[in-house]
Amino acid sequence: MRLNSKKLILAFSMLAIAIAFTGSAFAADKMAADKHTSTKFEGPKANAGTVTHSKKDGKNVLTLSEDFVVPDTPDPHWQVVDSKGTVYLLDRLKLKGDKIQTSITVPAYVKDVAKVQIWCAFAEANLGEASFTTPVK
C-alpha cells in the first residue's frame, strides 16, 4: 500500500502535535510538582492563610496566600526554620506605606525550609507559624 504525499504530511503533522502535547502535559505536571503549600498559619496574631513554596529562575520563593491577614503589630518579619532547627530572620513583611511583601526569595544559604514564621522584631515574639509536611528545598 502506497501513501500519497498529502497523507504522509498529515500523518507526520499529527505525530508532531501529539509529541508537543505530551511534552507540554509533562511540563505542567512538573510545574505543579514544584509547588508546595504549608499548613494554615497558627499563632496568637497570625492565624489565617498559608504559604506556598515554588521555584523561580532556580531560586526558592515563598508566597503568602490571599487569605493571609497581616498581624497588627509594629514590626512583623518573615522568618524561616530549616530541618535542623536553625532560625533565619529575613525581611520585613510590611513595607513603606501600606504595602505588604507577600513574596520573598529565600537566600541561598538557607538549605531547606521546614517552617515559616511571622516574627515581631519589636516584641521579639513568634506571631504564628506554618509548616510544610516535608522540608522544601
Query: pLDDT tens per residue, the chain (137 residues)?
Result: 555 666 656 656 665 565 655 554 444 444 445 899 999 999 999 999 999 999 999 999 999 999 999 999 999 999 999 999 999 999 999 998 889 999 999 999 999 999 999 999 999 999 999 999 999 99
Pick the CATH number of 36-136 from 1.10.287, 1.10.3470, 2.60.40, 1.20.120: 2.60.40
pLDDT at 31: 46
pTM of the full structure: 0.76
Q: Tell me the backbone φ, ψ of residue 78, rounded to 5 degrees.
A: -75, 135
